[in-house]
Structure 1
Amino acid sequence: MFAITAARIAPDDPLSGLEAGERPDPEPREGWTTVRVKAASLNHHDLWSLRGVALGEDRLPMILGGDAAGIDENGDEVIVHSVITEPAAPGTTPRFSLLSEHYDGTFAEKVLVPKANLLPKPAELSFEEAACLPTAWLTAYSMLFDKADLRPGSTVLVQGAGGGVSVALIKLAAQVGHRVYVTSRDEDKRAKALELGAYAALPSGERLPERVDVVFDSVGQATWRHSVRSLKPGGAIVTCGATSGDAPPAELTRVFFLQLRVLGSTMGTWEELRALTEMCVRTGLRPEIDRVLPLKDAAEGFRAMAEGDVFGKIVFTN
């Protein structure tokens, strides 16, 4: 089968480790099933894998990709939840990983996944739309509705406009009535954020007209100080990433004096993915898709993400 593979780890030139070509079909495994991939979406995780984050040389070559929608062995249209749970011995903690970390991912014609990781794809969602949900949109959903503990009509700041999680946060938060501030260095991306429902969009680092209840930060070092200083007393930062680095000044004096909270968030549960899918169906909310490319042209999508030339999700199709 045709697949997009991490063949080499290259921290300084990640795209040089990307290869496209034939790989063996998945081998049957008890409790798992093969899904014929119709669409798969690109995430920063895939780019970081090529840099060696969460993927070691000993596991190469590895088919990349975590998100997918396709057709299972019964002919049913399905969405793949990409969090793999390993059985644990009594008294120990289960091990969690994402597809493409220990098991081949979704940038292929077929992917092998646990049967329990599938959920029905509603007819209302296209394969391309459904493939955007399991990572970026699920992460945003969990950050907003589980970690943030917000009341209707709250004020929030989304740091960075353009990435999959940020765009999902803008659309989800606006949908439920929050006042959404957004930052970006890019004027066009700020304008697009306003079109998606943001209340205001400001240049990165610019002081907000008011302090907010919660900041959603996936940028890290470059935005951390601004995130901390944008919060009301008792507010919270919910972080799911550090694309600019993970060692900013902690601002601990402000954190303890204003009794701020810092909450980490990674992905989401199968149940949250089902709820997110239902929300999309009932409200008409749909993922923002930057571009759709045939899988054979995946390198173009990786290059756009590496250069920051993205607003929403990049989707590959078979």
Structure 2
Amino acid sequence: MFAVFAAEPNPDDPIASLTVGERPEPEVPDGFIAVSVRAASLNMHDLWTLRGVGIKPEQFPMILGCDGAGVTEDGTEVVLHSVITSPGWVGDETLDPKRTLLTEKHQGTLAETVVVPARNVLPKPAGLSFAEAACMGTAWLTAYRMLFTQSGLRPGQTILVQGASGGVSTALIQLGTAAGFRVWVTGRSEEKRALAEGLGAHATFASGERLPERVDGVFETVGKATWAHSMRAVKPGGVIVVSGSTSGPDPSADLQRLFFLQLRVIGSTMGTRDELADLLRFCETTGVRPTIGAELPMADAEQGFRDMLDGATAGKIVFTR
């Protein structure tokens, strides 16, 4: 079958191991289900897979793609939940120490067919296109959990989203404004800040710029490059919710500010199947839809990967077939 896969790990030149070609048809074990993929979105996790992060060398070749949407054999249109738990796990999937994602142990969604546990498919709302639905399972689910499960914030409060154009950031802007938060955003360029304003941000600022007032919560996916600003931006008793560190994982902790201002720093990883179901209902009810920066055929996957590697994104990159 046709697939986009990582042939081998390449830490220094990840695109060099990106391969578009044929892979064997997958087997469907008991308890699993085959989904004919209609659309799959690109995530930073796919670049980490190409680099060999979080995956053993003997697991290559690995089909890429953490999330997607498609059709089951009986014609049901579905959205994929990419967090796969260990056998017998009960409760929050993100807390399972043996959990895995598609592309880590199981082959991913950038292919004609993907095979996942039966519990990892959810009905696709009729109002969402396959391309829109393919954005939900990783970036949008991550943003939903950060905002509604982990932050403890309330509509009407002010939040700061660090970074204006990535998949999680654009989802936070859209979800936050739809839910009644006052949303402020930082961006490295006028173009990225304009994108955030077009998505509904109430105010935008240059990266590191002093804010008019401190905010109730900061949402971090950048890490080292923005951490000092995040610590300065949040008001006493406020919260910083962290789900990534794309610029590096080793910021200064600034412990004195942390304890003196009684700040909360909360980690957040992906989301649960129930949260994905709630997210789909939220989008169906409110009319919120993900911003798709580029929609490309899977055969042109290299262009999408290069754009993500270069930071040339304006929303989600989606591959269709």
Q: Mark the runs of 5 or more structure 2 residues left unpaired by the alignment.
A: none
Aligned partners of 1:157, 1:112: CA distance in 2, in Å? Answer: 38
The answer to whether residue 15 in structure 2 is matched with residue 15 in structure 1 is yes
| Mapped contact 1:70–1:77 kept (Cα < 8 A) | yes
Amino acid at match of 2:33: T
Aligned partners of 2:227, 2:212: CA distance in 1, in Å? Answer: 18
How far off its partner does 1:283 sit? 0.8
Match of 1:212 in 2: 215
| Mapped contact 1:40–1:106 kept (Cα < 8 A) | yes
Amino acid at match of 2:27: E
Aligned partners of 1:244, 1:210: CA distance in 2, in Å? Answer: 26
- Name the TM-score, length of structure 2 as normaliser: 0.97
How far off its partner does 1:56 sit? 2.0
Match of 1:245 in 2: 248
The one of 287, 291, 305 equivalent to 2:290 is 287
The answer to whether residue 159 in structure 2 is matched with residue 139 in structure 1 is no
Match of 1:56 in 2: 56
Amino acid at match of 1:233: P
Aligned partners of 1:258, 1:70: CA distance in 2, in Å? Answer: 47
Give the 3-state SS of the residue equivalent to 1:95 in structure 2: coil
Amino acid at match of 1:307: D
Moved over 4 A (4+): none
| Mapped contact 1:88–1:94 kept (Cα < 8 A) | no
How far off its partner does 1:54 sit? 1.1
The answer to whether residue 42 in structure 2 is matched with residue 38 in structure 1 is no
Amino acid at match of 1:298: A
Aligned partners of 2:241, 2:96: CA distance in 1, in Å? Answer: 24
| Mapped contact 1:88–1:95 kept (Cα < 8 A) | no
Total equivalences in the alignment: 317
The answer to whether residue 179 in structure 2 is matched with residue 172 in structure 1 is no
Q: How does 1:188-203 map to 2 (within 5 A)?
A: 188-203=191-206
Q: Which moved more, 1:47-56 or 1:120-129?
A: 47-56
Aligned partners of 1:311, 1:224: CA distance in 2, in Å? Answer: 22
The change in CA–CA distance for 1:77 and 1:231 in structure 2 (over 3 A counts) is same
Q: How does 1:266-305 map to 2 (within 5 A)?
A: 266-305=269-308
Give the 3-state SS of the residue equivalent to 1:210 in structure 2: coil
Aligned partners of 1:165, 1:93: CA distance in 2, in Å? Answer: 22
Give the 3-state SS of the residue equivalent to 1:86 in structure 2: coil
Q: Mark the runs of 5 or more structure 1 residues left unpaired by the alignment.
A: none
Match of 1:122 in 2: 125
Identity of matched residues, %? 59
CA RMSD between the two structures: 1.3
Amino acid at match of 1:26: P
How far off its partner does 1:275 sit? 0.6
